[in-house]
Amino acid sequence: MTILHWIFFAIYLSSVRAQTCPLKCQCYLNQTTDCSSKRIFIIPPKTFQSYSNLLVLRLEDNRLSSLDSDVFSPLINLKRLDLDQNILTSLPGSVFNSLRDLVVLYLNGNSLTTLPSKIFKNLENLSIIWLHDNRIETLPSDVFEPLINLKTLSLRNNKIKNLDYNWFKNLSNLEFLALAGNQIPNIPRNTFAGLGNLKNLSLNGNQLTSIQDQTFSYTPKLEFLWLYDNKIEEIGDNTLYGVSFLRSISLHNNKIKKISSRAFCSLTNLEQLYLDGNMLVTLDATLLLSQRRLRMLELQDNKLNTISPDLLTPLISLRTFNISGNPLICDCKLWESWLWWNAHFLDPEAKCFNPETKILGNARDQLVNLTCTIEQYNNQVVTASQALITAAPLKDKIEKTCDAKQLAAGCIVLLVIIVVMMVGFFVYIKFYRVPKSSHEMLVPLDA
Ligand SMILES: *[C@@H]1O[C@H](CO)[C@@H](O)[C@H](O)[C@H]1NC(C)=O
Ligand SMILES: *[C@@H]1O[C@H](CO)[C@@H](O)[C@H](O)[C@H]1NC(C)=O
Ligand SMILES: *[C@@H]1O[C@H](CO)[C@@H](O)[C@H](O)[C@H]1NC(C)=O
Ligand SMILES: *[C@@H]1O[C@H](CO)[C@@H](O)[C@H](O)[C@H]1NC(C)=O
Ligand SMILES: *[C@@H]1O[C@H](CO)[C@@H](O)[C@H](O)[C@H]1NC(C)=O
Ligand SMILES: *[C@@H]1O[C@H](CO)[C@@H](O)[C@H](O)[C@H]1NC(C)=O
């Protein structure tokens, strides 16, 4: 009864619509109309008929459950449309067809389960679409195809299970893609083909158990990759192939047992590495050899028994380091690492497993009285306290590189090129240059 009452009321008001501003809305001189948070549940079809100069229309936080397919058609100059925080379950296929200048579209916080095919067909200038916090399970293959200028696409917190590579194949300008909080169990290898400018990709909070080799090789400009809160078990040599500009990768709260020694080799720009909350027992001592820029290393809450000093010495930029919650064994190997992080003013909150008491205790208490022989001190026998006071910090071993093999191959190729060029030059001098100089000699001297 009340709903009907409201409908009639709305129709009545729209027929006597004020010249200046639609019902319940506020209109500003800057061509913004704000109808947000007004409990509006219906927009009568001709509401915006005389608003063709509108640039911004805000309808967020209302009770809209459906839209008339022509309701926005007069708004040919609109740049931004806020429809978020309503209860829309579907959209008419042609509802945005006239909004050729639209740059920003907010549809997040509704109850959409899918979108009609070609719904964005004229929106060539669209740069931002927020579709997060809906109930999207699937989308038509061609839905984003016309959006060649799209920079931001958020599909976070939906119910997507299967990724379709057709969704993204035309989005060559996309920089930010959020797919976090869906139900994605795997990523088909070519999913991101076409996203050559992507910088920030979130896939955290899905059901991923593995990542295929070279999945990210189509997104060479990626800087931020979010993979935490999944069930990933392994990081292989080529899992992260082709993303050498990556600055931050979060792999925490997965089930990672194994990381190949060369997994991070090509990531020479990495600043943040989150590996905490996994099932790592050991880390290869050469794993971080190319991490000269790494500032943050989170390894807490794994099952690590030791941290090799060779793992740490390449990390000349490290500022934040956490290994708490690992059952470390306080022997002379860890002692050496302990000297390293003390010398670098780091406190990773190391805890050592005491086999007698079966509890984790402060590493310092157990390490400080150890007597060890270490190379760094010319194989002298020293105690930790002596080493801390008398000795210089462990030297950073930065001469090694993880791409030694590639470097060697590169050198050979370079050598071959130089030899070929020299031979070529010789042939040129010998067979082509000579006739030319004899020709020069024919020029009369007094010319
Ligand atoms: C337009 O003006 C209103 C009120 O002054 C302001 O809140 C709003 O941010 C402005 N919008 C734009 C796009 O400048
Ligand atoms: C896109 O924006 C540019 C510049 O703002 C404008 O010249 C062009 O007409 C717009 N394209 C469309 C399809 O409206
Ligand atoms: C896909 O992108 C290409 C190149 O940017 C463009 O020419 C083509 O029209 C786009 N496809 C559609 C359906 O808009
Ligand atoms: C990348 O995206 C995440 C959310 O998915 C956001 O928290 C983060 O600030 C973004 N980073 C940059 C540099 O844009
Ligand atoms: C290290 O990790 C532990 C466990 O997650 C956490 O409680 C602690 O605050 C962290 N330390 C620092 C300095 O962040
Ligand atoms: C380490 O040595 C000091 C001084 O010799 C002693 O007081 C302390 O109890 C020792 N700590 C451990 C854990 O044995």
Candidate from 11-20, 106-115, 186-195, 215-224 with smallest mean pLDDT: 11-20
Residue 447 has pLDDT above 50, yes or no: no
pLDDT tens-digit profile of 401-440? 666 555 555 566 678 777 778 877 776 667 666 544 444 4
Q: What does the DSSP 8-state code read for residue 14?
A: H
User: What residues does 352 pair with on adjacent strands?
Assistant: 328, 361
Indicate whether residue 12 lines ligand 1 (CB < 6 A). no
Q: Which of 304, 298, 284 is nearest to 351 (CA)?
A: 304
Residue 87 has pLDDT above 80, yes or no: yes
Domain ranges of the chain: 23-146
How far apart CA 19 and CA 40 sit, in angstroms, is 20
For residues 66 and 378, which has the higher predicted lDDT (pLDDT)? Answer: 66
Cβ–Cβ < 8 Å for 111, 88 = yes
- The mean pLDDT value for 186-207 works out to 96
Closest residue CA from atom 2 of ligand 3:
170
Any idea which architecture 23-146 has in CATH?
A: Alpha-Beta Horseshoe (3.80)
Cβ–Cβ < 8 Å for 153, 179 = no
Q: Which of 41, 97, 37 is nearest to 72 (CA)?
A: 97
Q: If 0-12 CB within 10 Å is exposed, 13-18 middle and 19+ buried, where does residue 153 land?
A: buried
pLDDT tens-digit profile of 302-326? 999 999 989 999 999 999 999 999 9
Predicted TM-score of the model (pTM): 0.84
3-state secondary structure of 19: coil
Cα angle: 154, vertex 155, 160; to 5 degrees: 165
pLDDT of residue 11: 45
- Among 330, 335, 369, 386, say which to mutate for ligand 6: greatest number of ligand atoms within 8 Å of CB: 369
Candidate from 103-112, 155-164, 183-192, 339-348 with smallest mean pLDDT: 339-348
Ligand found nearest the CA of 55: 1
- Among 200, 248, 269, say which to mutate for ligand 4: greatest number of ligand atoms within 8 Å of CB: 200
Q: Which of 7, 59, 65 is nearest to 37 (CA)?
A: 59
pLDDT of residue 404: 54
Write down the mean pLDDT value for the chain.
Answer: 87
Indicate whether residue 181 lines ligand 5 (CB < 6 A). no
- The mean pLDDT value for 227-255 works out to 97
Q: Which of 389, 344, 382, 342 is nearest to 363 (CA)?
A: 342
Cβ–Cβ < 8 Å for 313, 341 = no
Which whole-number Å values give the CA distances from 426 to 417, 418, 431, in the listed order? Answer: 14, 12, 9
pLDDT of residue 248: 98
DSSP string, 128-142: EEE--SS------TT
Cβ–Cβ < 8 Å for 139, 166 = no
Residue 203 has pLDDT above 90, yes or no: yes
pLDDT tens-digit profile of 110-146? 999 999 999 999 999 999 999 999 999 999 999 999 9
Residue 46 has pLDDT above 60, yes or no: yes
pLDDT of residue 359: 80
Indicate whether residue 298 lines ligand 5 (CB < 6 A). no
Residue 64 has pLDDT above 60, yes or no: yes
